[in-house]
Amino acid sequence: MAENPYEMALEQLNKSARILNLDPNLHEMLKYPKRVLSVFVPVRMDDGSVKVFKGFRSQHNDALGPFKGGIRYHPNVSIEEVMALSIWMTWKCSVANLPYGGAKGGVICNPKEMSIGEIERLSRGYFAAISGIIGPERDIPAGDVNTSGREMAWFMDEYSKLKGFNVPGTVTGKPVAIGGSEGRIEATGKGVSISGREAAKKLGIELRKADIVVQGAGNVGYWSAKCMSEYGCKITAMSDSKGGIYNPNGLNIDHVVQFKEKTGSVAGFPDTKQITNEELLELKCDVLIPSALENQITAKNAHRIKARLVLEGANGPTTPEADEILHHSGIMVVPDILANAGGVSVSYFEWVQNLQNYYWTKEEVNDKLDRLLVKAFNNVYDTYLKYKVDMRMAAYICAINRVTEAMKLRGWR
């Protein structure tokens, strides 16, 4: 196992490079971000004191277009983490055929211990500090861990103040009232369901008769379950950090989420068997959707997974060792960079709408998303058959091929 996320990203790149017999010069260039900016942001706290926060913005590769990637607020943010995440964003944008390169940002802080005013002052200070390397044509940030439409609105406003005019296209994930896109809230979960539908066709799974198990009851888990149930699937189990629930006859997802909003957890939902997150992963089902945390399916439990198909709603829920076990067991894993690419895809649509100052209906957004992700899935599946590798490596091969082709055409070697 790699010691840090950057080492893990390099391992995945190296493995793909060997399969592709990649030009050593291009391989060397892809190992490193184009730039990583470190900033120190002084923030006046509510008690009158000034606290200085450290932040980063890593921009990996822009051969395909401007940089794209979220900004997270978390105590464990590190330069290695944002470097790794920027590399993974390059592959995610590439595999979805988006005209973007990968970036990622982060600030070392604990927003749960900060007031709204402190978070706003930090947000505006951080965005002002990185403003020299971002913008609609250069780098378009978005929300991530502990950041949402609220922070994106502040970011857009701060950048617009610096420029002296309104620049909605500088970030995505904004509220609809100030240039956000219809369909963005459910986009990641909807993308998971589209990948699931296409994979089910390949595996001969009839969705109207399929049992679905979902780990995670947040935005991605809820919308993945909701959209899969619209295909006629039966959601038999769901969980959050406090525990899980199981009913072989199926769950009403809206009722489950309403219960969670009232009580703080899905645990205790009426007429269900209480189960742990570990037990949930090992239930017999057709489709398993881990959409909570990373490293949930590991070498310890992979041989007990009974699903026919795993759709990675979360980032990195399956370890490399588990990947091999599942592949050899005949279980298809649709990897995170493909399965949860719906979010960045609709972020791309938001950016396009901002640049045109012309906005689409939710139906138009959903139709474009469906066509984009079906094409991406089929590209990865064809590569999976061609190279006889698992779907994760097929996705990396597709992504790296597209980026290196652009690098070669631009003369970057």
Residue type, 234: K
Pairing of strands 273-275, 243-246: antiparallel
Tokens 């030009």 found at: 23
Three-state SS sequence of 216-263? CCCHHHHHHHHHHHCCCCEEEEEEECCEEEECCCCCCHHHHHHHHHHH
Q: Using CA of residue 11, residue 13, residue 18, residue 19, what is the dihedral sign? A: positive
SS3 147: coil
Annotated active-site residue 92? The verdict is no
Which residue's entry shows tokens 């995945």? 12
Tokens of 394: 């097929």
Q: Who's near 94: CB < 8 A, 6+ residues apart? A: 64, 398, 399, 400, 402, 403
SS3 288: strand
Query: Which among 68, 92, 104, 190 is annotated as catalytic?
Result: 104
**Residues across the chain:** 413
Contact, 248 vs 225, CB < 8 A? Answer: no
* Structural contact between residues 275 and 268, judged by C-beta atoms closer than 8 angstroms: no
**Which of 77, 325, 339 is closest to 221 using CA atoms?**
339
Catalytic residue numbers read: 104
